[in-house]
Amino acid sequence: MELLVSTEWLASELGANDLRVVDATYFALDPARDAQAEYEAGHIPGAVHLDLANLKDEASDLPGMLPPAEKFASRMQSLGLGDGSRIVLYDNSPHRTSARAWYMFRMFGVNEVAILDGGLHKWVAEGRPIEQGKVALRHRHFTVWRDPAAVRDIDQMRVNVASGAEEVVDARSAKRFTGEEADPRGLASGHIPNSKNLPFDLLLNPDGTFRSKDEIRAAFDDAGVDPGKPLVTTCGSGVTASVLLFAAALLGREDIALYDGSWSEWGLRADTEKAIGEACMTTTATA
């Protein structure tokens, strides 16, 4: 199964014994919208709902940090997702939250997982069937392991600011990156020193599908990203950074990781250096 699958492909595969469809819609910055309610009002036939808002590390004060492996496995089992499943993720979010779910599945050892290109919006626009209510699947065994190479913590990010060994790319908007626009969570403005900026929406077409591989590669190049360095992505809380990570995976990159705390952690701390202005400028401000 490819990393990115089309609506045509999914329509032809629906009903396969090993296929599981997962609605990974999450409205991190729009609490007025209820992802569970929208799922129940209409979803791709057979899809279960992955509640990303509550699939997190409850011991952390930061928003949406990766959950413990045991919690992830338990949630997958309750959704009927288990060993041997081919999993297709989709969403109905402007932030392509299925990419965050994709990152989590890969982080916890699942390789047969894909994203539906264009999500629910494209599926519905094509007049394909939807169903209402909840879907309950029989519990299945889910073997989980955590890949520490796929995630970075704040100490690793501090070391990298000094060494520059890894290329850090920020998925937030240009104005949030430069500090021209205030952070919506009330955090300090700016970005991690020496990081590059590639707003996640530049990787998407107007209909929410991913751009071609050549266009994605050009977008990374235009952002000044060095393809010879390992890639670490960041954003506000680890959601849109996952879009960059998925796009890099589409290009065949394997040396990729995500800074899970992202700006919610870096921008909150008084002991972290914040850069202001365009990428790689040296003017800094501390909180």
Q: What is the pLDDT of residues 159-170, one digit of tens each?
A: 999 999 999 999
Whose tokens are 């040396």? That residue is 255
Q: Write the CATH number for 44.
A: 3.40.250.10
Task: Identify the band that residue 186 occupies on the pLDDT scale cut at 50, 70 and 90.
Answer: confident
Q: Of 146, 177, 212, which closes a domain?
A: 146
Residues 155 and 114 in one domain: no
Same domain, 102 and 168: no
Do 116 and 19 belong to one domain?
Answer: yes
Which residue range is the domain that position 154 belongs to? 149-286
Q: Where are the beta strands (DSSP E) in the chain?
A: 4-5, 19-23, 48-49, 86-90, 113-116, 151-152, 167-170, 196-197, 231-234, 256-259, 273-275, 284-286
Task: Quote the pTM value.
Answer: 0.94
Q: Which amino acid is at 134?
A: K
How much is the average pLDDT of 14-27? 95
Given this model, what pLDDT does residue 155 score?
97
Helix, strand, or coil here: 204?
strand
pLDDT classification of 30: cutoffs 50, 70, 90: confident
Asked whether residue 137 falls in the same domain as residue 158, the answer is no
Is the model's pLDDT at 215 over the cut of 60? yes
Over 80: is that where the pLDDT of 147 sits? yes
280: pLDDT strictly greater than 80: no
Cα–Cα distance for residue pair 165/60, rounded to 1 Å: 28
Average pLDDT, the chain: 93
Residue 274 and residue 157 in one domain = yes
Number of structural domains the chain divides into:
2
pLDDT class of 281 with cuts at 50, 70, 90: very low
Compute the C-alpha angle 246/69/76, nearest 5°: 75
Final residue of a structural domain among 95, 129, 146 = 146
- Does 130 share its domain with 155? no
Q: What gap in Å lies between CA 5 and CA 27, rounded to an integer? A: 23
How far apart, in whole angstroms, are the C-alpha atoms of residue 261 and residue 241? 11
Spatial distance between the Cα atoms of 63 and 58, rounded to a whole number of angstroms: 9
- Phi/psi region, residue 11 (left: phi>0; alpha: psi -120 to 50; beta: rest), is alpha
Backbone region of residue 197 per phi and psi (left: phi > 0; alpha: psi in -120 to 50; beta: other values)? beta
- Of 202, 204, 235, 250, the catalytic one is 235
Shared-domain flag, residues 201 and 262:
yes
pLDDT band at 126 (very low <50, low <70, confident <90, very high): very high
pLDDT at 283 > cutoff 50: no
Q: 146, 166, 193: which is the final residue of a domain?
A: 146
Q: Reply yes or no on whether 235 is catalytic.
A: yes
Q: What is the mean pLDDT of residues 220-230?
A: 97
Burial 135-156 (b: 16+ CB within 10 A, else e): beeeebebebeeeeebbbeeee
Co-location of 40 and 154 in the same domain: no
Residue type at 137 in one-letter notation: L
Residues 107 and 224 in one domain: no
